[in-house]
Structure 1
């Protein structure tokens, strides 16, 4: 099947499919016309890639684990190296959560202090850099 058909069957945009190919995650043959040609296994492979990306694994991690992948979800039996990669990613996520929690707590303290001071009224802040004073 061509890339457009694979895109329709998986719901993944063609530029993402090309990226998966460039990262070594998805293989395609080239037809005599130069078009990418995918076999039926590509549908399952794309679904596996999407699930693993959804779990926060990098393309590099996914390339490492795909040979172990079974099924759409996928199950990853017999791949002890994967466990180390997933634990490492989980630690990074936990660190990010901790950092965000600290930032949230600090911001809450600033808000509470500003509300307690009262007096001056501030315009609503909608993220990004505040507008410069004129």
Structure 2
């Protein structure tokens, strides 16, 4: 199939398909005239690339493990370093989750602080500020 048809069937832009080819994620055959000719295996590979990308893996990591992931199911042919690569990715995601949780706690504290009634004395400071501003403008 031609690149436009593969793009339509996978929901991946033509430009991205060419990029995937540059990165070695797919390897279409070439016609005599030089046009790319994609097989159903290329379409399946693109679907796996997207699945792994949604799992948070980078294209570099996907390129390393794609030969091990031969179906859309969660099974694979053991490859060298696969366990280490996946463990590293899980650790990276755990760190990101921890960062997000810390950020959430900070935002919740700000939100709680913003919803408290004004502290005593704050209205006095506000009135003093208004008097000072008025004295500056009244000359």
Q: Tell me whether the two structures share a fold, i.e. TM-score over 0.5.
A: yes
Name 2:131's counterpart in structure 1: none
1:7-32 CA distance string (max 9 Å, x none): 12222222221121121101123333
Contact 1:69 1:76 in 2 (8 A): yes
Name 1:30's counterpart in structure 2: 30
Relative contact order, CA 8 A, sep 6+: which one is greater? Answer: 1
1:25-83 CA distance string (max 9 Å, x none): 01123333332221221111111111111111111111111221221235223225212
Q: C-alpha separation between the residues in 2 aligned to 1:74 and 1:92? A: 20
TM-score normalised by length of structure 2 = 0.75
Q: Is there any run of 5+ residues in structure 2 with no aligned partner, and where?
A: 123-139
User: If you compute each CA radius of gyration, which structure gives the higher value, 1 or 2?
Assistant: 2
Name 1:5's counterpart in structure 2: 5
1:91-124 CA distance string (max 9 Å, x none): 111111111111111121122122214389xxxx
Contact 1:3 1:38 in 2 (8 A): yes
Contact 1:29 1:36 in 2 (8 A): yes
Q: How many residues align?
A: 120
RMSD over equivalenced CA pairs, Å: 2.0
Instruction: Give the structure with the larger helix fraction.
Output: 2
TM-score normalised by length of structure 1 = 0.78
Q: Is there any run of 5+ residues in structure 1 with no aligned partner, and where?
A: 121-134
- 1:44-83 to structure 2, matched below 5 A, reads 44-73=44-73, 75-79=75-79, 81-83=81-83
Contact 1:51 1:73 in 2 (8 A): no
CA 1:40/1:110 → structure 2, altered by over 3 Å: closer, same or farther? Answer: closer
Name 1:17's counterpart in structure 2: 17
